[in-house]
Amino acid sequence: MTRSPSETADSPLHDLVENAALLPLERRTFLKACGVFIATAHAVACSRSPERIVPYVEMPEELIPGNPIYYASAITRSGVARGVLVETQMGRPVKLEGNPAHPESLGALDAYTQASIRMLYDPLRSQFAVDGGRPADSRRINERLAAARTELQQGRGKGVVLLTSTITSPTTAGLIAAFLKQYPEASWYQYDPLSPEEQRSATRMIFGKELQPVYRFDQADCVLSCSCDFLLTERGSLRYARDFSQNHHPASRMLKLYLAESSYSVTGAKADERAALRPSEEMALIGEVARLVGALPDWKPGALRPELNEFAQHAAKSLKKGGPKALVVAGERANPEVQGIAFLINSTLGSIGRTISFISPVEGVALGTPNNSRAGLAELVGRMNGGEINRLIIAGANPVFAAPADLEFAGAMDRVKDTWHLGLIRDETGGRAKLHIPQAHELESWGDARAFDGTVTLIQPTISPLFGGRVLNELLSQLIDQSESSAEELLRRHWSAAHPGDPASFQRFFDQSLKAGVVEGTALEPAAPRPISDAAARFRPVSSAAVSAAGAVELVYCPDPAVWDGSGFHNAWLQELPHPFTKLTWDNALLLSPADMKANNLVNGQMVEIKVGERKLRPAVFGLAGLPEQCVTLSVGYGRLYQGDTLGFNAGVLQTRAAFWSASDVQIAPLGRDYRLASTLGLVSMDRPAPTRMFGLSQLPALKPASEEQPSLYPPKDRSGEQWGMAIDLTSCIGCNACVTACQAENNILVAGKDQVARGRSMLWLRVDRDTDEHGRVNFQPVPCMHCENAPCELVCPVAATAHSHDGLNQMTYNRCVGTRFCSHNCPYKVRRFNFLSHADDTGPMLALLRNPDVTVRERGVMEKCTYCVQRIQEAKIHAGRENRPIADGEIVPACAQTCPAHAIVFGDVSKADSAVSQKKASPLNYGLLAELNTKPRTTYLARVINDEEV
């Protein structure tokens, strides 16, 4: 792996050596402890309490004990639904998979959604209500609700404010409408730090109304993205990732992606041509493209750096050639004017209605324009400070953490007489509220939500609320009419109102919608609006002065690739997930370009003081090649308390209303202090460098299948019968980490924690290596076990705990393993993980419910690794065996391949020439990792292809 100098400068390896003495014990104490341990171990080993079997009294009809049942439902990210299929085992939800019928998921899920199931069982979940600092029971909450209702009636809602996160649920929107109708003096605000309000301003500016774009990457020949991370953080990203990766592939039409951005996103890593620019240069760049394309003919070229100018020329030429099949996308949180120009270019190209269409925003559809912006929140804070508000009901939102810092929401909250908080976690807002009510997890509740294109999914519970959590719909209903309607009744009532007709046909509709996971015909009608007449006239060219002077540093904020806006912060799976580029776990860091690192004399992990106006933060820094110079990046969602420790650095203390997504004139001063960052970069890596292979599209015709056959001293393996293998297409892989979390969920992989990860003891079976080539281009390379035919690990195991199966799997038998770790030392790919500690015991009985019953939970002292999801292979064999038929191609899908939005991973029988995996492997792009070692890996890669065609 090639790394920039700033990355290698501070190798965490020396840390390992320094911390070699793990136990702060003296020799004598240690020996005494050993004695006590041995004595007690003998004492407790004498008897075993008998295991019990507890059958049902009345067994549910559809249940077959031991077999999973899947329910269609949805998980929301910032209010927008992703369709899931929830796997339940004997009544416990254990795994989420994408719902193929859902327009965004199409069967795939991202890491955030995969991990959301962990919060259902997490011990950090709020488990009881807190009223005035004291635990309260359900009766007490009902009393509070009744009292609040009386007050609401008396004052017609005066002084009562409902503050929610993004609501896309038609049922909730209907209830809020009813609430506001009954109590006209009350008001409703929505606040979500990641809501695309810049995008709405842009559509207002260009089309005269609030709209939401929907892109068709499957229809595009050429795409220009301006800070648009449509593969991971944009609304609809899962669908876009699928469409893009299928179309950005040599087997398809191989669209060309131009991308300019200030940070480094996974979408940026997939760009065929990428430009790193500072936020202040965005406007000049897109304006120049608009001028060249003819969208803004009067635009005067600003002061563009030569390389940006060249990028603009290339992009414009390509866009013009693409015409209606070209697409310009700007990030939903980018400067509204940049987004506006992007819409104008699309309009000029004629792509509106083809590669881009518009729908009305999915949030608050039933209510028209929602009060959903930072300006709206500022108005609310003004009212709170003015003493106008005496009851604030906050549901799902965390404004104390996520509101712009200059609003000082926390102070305003203290001025409100009564504050309520409904949330999954008693977070910053919950801790400050007078009344905190635990919220039911989405897997425990009834409800509905819209997808990015408006399609509604009915959310159904898969388990009763573990801690008696409540949902917003029930609270609203109780406040409206005292009726204690359940969330299910409310949902049925809403949808039966929309479906007049006899109850039997409604029941059919309801059952059908629940089963399918989508409500037919609810997608919002896409439109192809025209820009208003004076839309283009409003853009004046930026003078060279508007571009920040050289020397002034700019700062960009972005959603965190793992914890999102902070809503995934308490989720240990997301914390342990390495950042796509820096491989940081359990922290974020201020990302600097290597040049800026050098200029400030910094190495990874050193702390700096960063000053934005009067606001200060002291983050640790991390170097990342590919970032623009004089521009630093910090992700939001960090700097919070996790079991007593502050993890990461809170960008929120710097974000103000005026400068929420970027800031200029930032000062950085090294503090000369170190911070312990846990990055897996270089800690868990291959024995020797194996740079990702990459070819240009123009090189493909000359490419011939490379024979990697080498002589071997080992006897040839019997290859009769099924032979499992995997192909990973690096052109498709977007480095989103979804496979890593899916693997963790499927295979009971335990969380090691920051300290252990920093020691190189991350337990994740699947890692995504990234390497940077000489042009700063980043390649992602998922590395599971290679299941080598000549596996080096098998030769050195003294107890035959790892051995080869006849169908080509490198098996790991945990109960045989004695923990010598020879296998891991001999593995050139370093894909084996050792249980140094007994992680299973630390997590408590709650998380035991999450475990997959088909996979052994490994104990301390045992080696483990990717098994190709052998439990799924065995299940398919058993299933086919029961039906007395062969296993069909594609019947076995490992968890990583199942969840991949890009279809980058293909698994199957390599002994059959017509299987999907064999066809992939037949490509001339196919190669084995470190094949020169003659390990004959069964997992092979398809080299990355970039579109290098000149326009």
Residues that bind other proteins (CB under 8 A): 50-59, 64-67, 721-722, 803, 805-807, 809, 811, 813-816, 854-857, 867, 870-871, 873-874, 877-878, 881-882, 884
Q: Which of 110, 85, 113 is nearest to 568 (CA)?
A: 113
| Smallest gap from residue 718 Cβ to other proteins (A) | 10
- Largest separation between any pair of C-alpha atoms in the chain: 89
Report whether 218 contacts 83 (CB < 8 A): no
Contact 782, 896 (CB under 8 A): yes
Least distance in angstroms from the C-beta of 864 to other proteins:
12
Q: How far is the CB of 93 from other proteins (least distance, A)?
A: 19
* Nearest-angstrom CA–CA distance, 554 and 865: 43
DSSP 341-401: HHHHHHHHHT-BTTTEEEE--STTGGGSS---SHHHHHHHHHHHHTT--SEEEEES--HHH
Amino acid letter for position 884: N
Q: Residue 867 CB, nearest distance to other proteins (Å)?
A: 7
* Interatomic CA distance for residues 182 and 174, integer angstroms: 12
CA-to-CA distance for 745 and 523, rounded, in angstroms?
A: 31
Nearer to other proteins, 55 or 503 (CB): 55
Q: Are 255 and 248 in contact (CB under 8 A)?
A: yes
d(CA 51, CA 390): 56
Nearer to other proteins, 65 or 701 (CB): 65
Terminal alpha carbon distance of the chain: 32
Which of 317, 804 has the CB closer to other proteins?
A: 804
What is the spatial distance between Cα 479 and Cα 144, in angstroms, rounded to a whole number?
10
How, if at all, do strands 833-834 and 863-864 pair?
Answer: antiparallel
Residue whose CB is less far from other proteins, 285 or 869: 869
Q: How far is the CB of 63 from other proteins (least distance, A)?
A: 9
Which CB atom, from 200 or from 787, has the smaller least distance to other proteins?
A: 787
- Whether the CB-CB separation of 896 and 743 falls below 8 Å is answered with yes
Q: How far is the CB of 54 from other proteins (least distance, A)?
A: 5
Structure tokens at 854: 């088909």
Tokens of 391: 């009851």
Cβ neighbours for 545, distance < 8 A, ≥ 6 positions apart: none
Which of 642, 814 has the CB closer to other proteins?
814
**Shortest CB 807 distance to other proteins, Å:** 7
CB of 59 to other proteins, least distance (A): 4
CA distances from 439 to 329, 398, 479 (A): 37, 13, 17
d(CA 320, CA 323): 5
Shortest Å, Cβ 845 to other proteins: 16
Q: Answer left, alpha or beta for residue 458, where phi above 0 means left and psi between -120 and 50 means alpha.
A: beta
Nearer to other proteins, 473 or 871 (CB): 871
Task: For the beta carbon of residue 758, count every other beta carbon within 10 angstroms.
Answer: 22
Give 26 or 51: the residue with its C-beta nearer to other proteins.
51
Judged by CB, which is closer to other proteins: 24, or 55? Answer: 55
CB 56 to other proteins: min, Å: 4
Do residues 467 and 438 lie in contact, with contact meaning Cβ atoms separated by under 8 Å?
A: yes
Q: Which is nearer to other proteins, 51 or 502 (CB)?
A: 51
Q: How far is the CB of 887 from other proteins (least distance, A)?
A: 10
| Of 43 and 54, CB closest to other proteins | 54
Residue 678, strand partner residues: 585
Nearer to other proteins, 514 or 840 (CB): 840
Q: What is the DSSP letter of 310?
A: H
Residue 843 CB, nearest approach to other proteins (Å): 16
User: Rounded to 5 degrees, what are φ and ψ at 433?
Assistant: -75, 150
Pairing of the two strands 640-642 and 631-635 = unpaired
* Least distance to other proteins, CB of residue 618, Å: 47
What are φ and ψ of residue 450, in 5° steps? -100, 150
Minimum separation from the CB atom of position 806 to other proteins (A): 4
| 3-state DSSP assignment of residue 617 | strand
Single out the residue of 690, 746, 885, 718 nearest to residue 808, CA to CA: 718
**Alpha carbons 311 and 224: distance in angstroms, whole number:** 10
How many Å apart are CA 402 and CA 78, to the nearest integer?
13
Whether 718 and 806 have beta carbons less than 8 Å apart is answered as yes
Closer by beta carbon to other proteins, 325 or else 787: 787
Cβ 98 to other proteins shortest distance, Å:
24
Complex with other proteins: residue 136 or 880, whichever CB lies closer: 880
Q: Which is nearer to other proteins, 200 or 858 (CB)?
A: 858
Residues in the chain: 951
**Cβ-contact 227, 261 below 8 angstroms:** yes
What is the rounded distance in angstroms from the CA atom of residue 22 to the CA atom of residue 723?
A: 44
Pick the closest to residue 236 from 451, 7, 403 (CA basis).
451
Q: Are 191 and 372 in contact (CB under 8 A)?
A: yes
Cβ nearer to other proteins, comparing 795 with 878: 878
Pick 634 or 788: Cβ nearer other proteins: 788
Beta bridge partner(s), residue 834: 863
Instruction: Identify which of 566, 572, 605, 565 has the alpha carbon closest to the alpha carbon of residue 589.
Output: 605
Question: For residues 618 and 816, which CB has a smaller minimum distance to other proteins in the complex?
Answer: 816
